[in-house]
Homo-oligomer: A and B are copies of this chain.
């Protein structure tokens, strides 16, 4: 509103009085303010909202993980766009895999009187949110202890899709790398098991790798160990984008050594430059921007009370993007140690 005041050559207080009815403002001044508002292209109610001190909040809170993970950045970008269209700002809390930090971030944000909360929840109980007094939409993962809207991708279907694809190339020793006890990766594992069962392939439990943390480094280390076993897998399914990166880093080293073939690799979630790597990377992916857009739209509709349905569960489909790494057959080119 600063520039309305500036353009009209009056103080902010005068702009405020004009917008709120014009009492005590000379007609000529009031008209100047109105012209300035028009010229600058503001809606009257935008101006009014910005000037009303006790205004109803027009901010949403968004709590998610590490913003330098493109998955979270994409959700943040999409929800900012949707919120912005309705004149809502977004207050951001970013906490990575730290339930206590997440809880405090949420409480801090609720204390700021936001109109609604959009949360990519960590593990643990979220029943404390029941008393927040504002609508809550969970994104990517459901939360425990509270009934609320959830927008997510078809993790189990995606896990099955990736595994089916590897099974179809003749792979029977398929390792799966999992980030620690996330809801999402648990579902992806379930899809993996379902695919193996349907194909009559018994799962070697030593190929189900629960990583201590969800980093590229952890996946790199685990993959190196896997490939140096006497009976290495012929295919790997990496259940997140960072894990896929770690798998590829390990394979780059391992397969340089004599006697090692290249296993097939499928990742969950697409990532930038996946198609530019020496062997372009096959992934199972869904539309993450759409995930963010749907969640933000739903939250705005809950906040405005234009959507009063019971808590919804919206699931977006996954698709397979074949680029090369997932199309190496188990027999065509032997993976793992080919000698000895």
Residues on A close to B: CB < 8 A? 1-3, 5-6, 49-51, 59, 66-68, 70, 73-74, 76-77, 80, 84, 87, 89-94, 105, 107-112, 128, 131-132, 245, 248-249, 252, 271-273, 276-278
A132's partner among B2, B50, B92 (CB-CB below 8 A) is: B2
- Residues of chain B contacted by A67 (CB below 8 angstroms): 67, 73-74, 76-77, 80
Residues A2 and B91 in contact in the complex (CB < 8 Å), given A105-B84, A276-B277: no
Asked if B92 contacts A109 (CB within 8 A), the reply is no
Asked if B109 contacts A89 (CB within 8 A), the reply is yes
Rounded to whole angstroms, the CA-CA distance of A49 and B111 in the bound complex is 9
Asked if A90 contacts B92 (CB within 8 A), the reply is yes
**A83, chain B: closest CB distance, angstroms:** 10
- Residues of chain B contacted by A252 (CB below 8 angstroms): 276
**A53, chain B: closest CB distance, angstroms:** 8
Rounded to whole angstroms, the CA-CA distance of A73 and B110 in the bound complex is 24
A59's partner among B5, B91, B94, B132 (CB-CB below 8 A) is: B91
Asked if A68 contacts B74 (CB within 8 A), the reply is yes
A12 and chain B: residue at smallest CB distance: B131
- Residues of chain B contacted by A245 (CB below 8 angstroms): 272-273, 276
A92's partner among B92, B107, B110, B276 (CB-CB below 8 A) is: B92
**A67, chain B: closest CB distance, angstroms:** 4
Asked if A94 contacts B108 (CB within 8 A), the reply is no
Asked if A77 contacts B94 (CB within 8 A), the reply is yes
Residues A6 and B80 in contact in the complex (CB < 8 Å), given A249-B276, A273-B277: no
Asked if A107 contacts B3 (CB within 8 A), the reply is yes
A6's partner among B6, B51, B131 (CB-CB below 8 A) is: B131
Rounded to whole angstroms, the CA-CA distance of A272 and B107 in the bound complex is 33
Rounded to whole angstroms, the CA-CA distance of A149 and B131 in the bound complex is 41
- Residues of chain B contacted by A272 (CB below 8 angstroms): 245, 272-273
